[in-house]
Every structure is written in structure tokens, then in C-alpha cells.
Amino acid sequence: MIIVQDTFVCKPGNASKMAKLFKEVMSNDKSVLHIMTDMTGQYHRVIMLSKHDNLTAYEKSWEEYQNPTPEMKKSMEKMNGMNDMYVSGSREIFQVW
């Protein structure tokens, strides 16, 4: 199993907005475990954790994203303007032992 951690460093005042947006849009995605905001460390972060059986399953999820269903398209429309809410981001992929 792998855990994927997507971290977004938001513009001030946008972390909670982005977290709420992710929570709403990702609610039907069974791979998403948690949407979190920082309590310590670097400020203005939103972290999304997702779980996949392996890297192949993770890659398959990207293929599905590139060929969205009508339901996925509707969710993607809600994400319009998301890029204006954050400054930078990163992704880490962890192997679970």
C-alpha cells in the first residue's frame, strides 16, 4: 500500500477555504483519507492524504482523472479558481510497511 501526501501552501486566508473545497469535491473519492490543515510548522498549509494499493493503482486514478465522467466534470468545475488560492505545493509518496 502507498500513501500519497499532497501539500498546498496557501495564500493567507485561503487554507480553510481550500480545505472545505477539497472536502466537498473529494467526498466521493474513496482513496482520499483525510484533508488536513496545519496546527504547527509552516503556516497556511492544506494536506490531502490518499491511499492506493500500489503505484499502478495510483497511476490508474490519474488516467481516470484525464477521462472524467460527467459527475467528475461537475466536481472539477467547482475547483475553478483553486490555483489562485495557493502559492506552491508538493507531493510525497510513501510505502506503508
pLDDT of residue 48: 96
Could you list the residue range(s) of the whole structural domain that residue 26 is in?
Answer: 2-95
For residue range 26-78, list pLDDT tens digits in order: 888 889 999 999 998 889 999 999 999 999 999 998 888 788 788 877 877 88
Cβ partners under 8 Å of residue 69, min gap 6 = none
Residue 9, classed as helix, strand or coil, is strand
Count how many residues are written for the chain.
97
- The whole-model pTM stands at 0.87
Residue 44 is given by DSSP the state S
Least confident of 7-16, 45-54, 74-83: 74-83
Q: Looking at residue 77, which CATH number applies to its domain?
A: 3.30.70.100
Amino acid, single-letter form, for residue 79: M
**Residue 13 corresponds to which cell in the numbers above?**
486566508
Domain count, the chain: 1
Determine the Cα–Cα distance for residues 78 and 39; give it in Å rounded to an integer: 26
